Amino acid sequence: MRQVFQGARLFDGRHLHRGKALLVEDGTIQAIVDAGSAEALAFGGEVVELAGGTLSPGFLDLQVNGGDGIMLDGSADVARIRRICAAHIRLGATGILPTLITDTPEATAAVIAAGIAAARENVPGFLGLHLEGPHLDARRKGAHDPGLIRPMGAADLELLCKAAAELPVLLVTLAPQSVTLEQIAALAQAGVIVSLGHTDSTAAEAKAAFAAGARCVTHLFNAMSQLGNREPGMVGATLDSDVYAGIITDGVHVAPEGLRIALAAKRGDGLYLVSDAMAAAGTDVTEFMLGGRRILRSNGRLTLEDGTLAGADICLPRSIRYLVETVGAPLELALAMATSRPAACISASGRLGSLAPGLAADLVHLTDDLALGAVWVAGDRVQI
């Protein structure tokens, strides 16, 4: 089957192109050519006429706690992972890292086993796993259960290193207070993407962890030591380093001023968008349970009953729109933060996050007002 996508600007992962057409055959991108050119006409096939807007690579979300009414937890199996992935595909994220927040050793092992099985079954949208905890700093626990936060032991290290060998991607959020530099180095050597988060670290402690092998930071600004004039904290260390960092742009977790500062100050091209979505994603539920605790949904916020933020009520298309319309970021930058940048973070630039010959035609169309218009997975349109 051949398809010619035209009528919208094309974002190739780095730059916007006007007057172009995307040629797709059997779900694989063949070329970007001039719209209406002899090459486009000769290609034949179905013409997918887009009424303006922007056609982008499918979005990639590296922090997704749940969706379609369920959380990733110790009850996880391939069917539940498939359901969460499908929910986020309908929201424009054609690739995600389902994320387990701090839980018991048994739950962690169960989620890893389910993730390995999902990878073997090639579940659409499944990129790997993100384990956010339990090796965190209780002083910056956020909505994590402090009773389950604990230091990393030898058995934990062994489990994670083995999991990294069997999963396509394993991202682990930890705090320097709960691990040693030697453990960080061992995880990185095993292929784990080590991300610092939920930590009250000094800038020096953070940079020592970066030097040991940590190369990412989880939801910049949230649940971490802040930038001060004499102690730059985790935020300052992140902005002053070339590490990758996820950030939530829902108008709740980080003020517009903070987002503008981060965009201007961050070294390198590592800042990318995450939704930190919970079970409510893709549903109209007003509350759900998280580890036996009630989560309330109201006015774009998800909170514990005491008001503590518990994930975010956002999807990546809405995150992009907020970043462009409220923060004032260029559209190219906002789109890169949802495509090529997260792809680079998980070392998948050669197969995800861009429009290039040989890559799967996982596509998202945003309308002129940056609303989600359509989604395709390997050239097949998804019902959204």
Task: List domains and CATH numbers for the chain.
Answer: 2-56+353-382 (2.30.40.10), 59-345 (3.20.20.140)
pLDDT tens, 10-35?
A: 999 999 999 999 999 999 999 999 99
The count of other CB atoms within 10 Å of the CB of residue 211 is 12
Task: Provide the pLDDT for residue 222.
Answer: 98
Return all residues near 378 (Cβ < 8 A) that are at least 6 apart. Answer: 27, 28, 360, 361, 362
Q: Give the C-alpha separation, 224 to 289, whole Å.
A: 25
Residue 93 pairs in a beta bridge with 59
Q: Percentage of the chain with pLDDT > 70?
A: 100
Report the relative pairing of strands 380-382 and 28-34 from DSSP bridges: unpaired
109-149, pLDDT tens digit by residue? 999 999 999 999 999 999 999 999 999 999 999 999 999 99
pLDDT tens column, 335-382:
999 999 999 999 999 999 999 999 999 999 999 999 999 999 999 999
Rounded Cα distance, 200 and 153, in Å:
21
The residues assigned a catalytic role are: 276
* Residues 42-69 pLDDT 10s: 999 999 999 999 999 999 999 999 999 9
Count of Cβ atoms closer than 10 Å to residue 47 Cβ:
15
Q: Per-residue pLDDT for 292 more than 90?
A: no
- 323-344 pLDDT tens trace: 999 999 999 999 999 999 999 9
Helices (H), 121-202: 154-166, 181-189
Confidence of residue 290 (pLDDT cuts 50, 70, 90): confident
174 — pLDDT class (breaks 50, 70, 90): very high
**CA–CA gap between residue 380 and residue 136 (Å, rounded):** 41
* Cβ–Cβ under 8 Å, residues 136 and 149: yes
CB neighbours of 219 closer than 8 A, spacing ≥ 6? 63, 197, 246, 247, 248, 253, 274, 276
The CA distances from residue 31 to 190, 355, 359, in Å, are 36, 8, 10
pLDDT value for 291? 82
Express each pLDDT in 208-241 by its tens digit.
Answer: 999 999 999 999 999 999 999 999 999 999 999 9
72: pLDDT strictly greater than 90:
yes
Return the ∠ at Cα 325 (arms to 94 and 354), rounded to 5°.
30
CA distance 156 to 174: 12
**pLDDT value at position 40?**
94
Instruction: Please classify residue 7 by burial: count the beta carbons closer than 10 Å to its beta carbon, then call 0-12 exposed, 13-18 middle and 19+ buried.
Output: middle
Name the pairing type of β-strands 380-382 and 70-71. Answer: unpaired
Mean pLDDT of the chain: 97
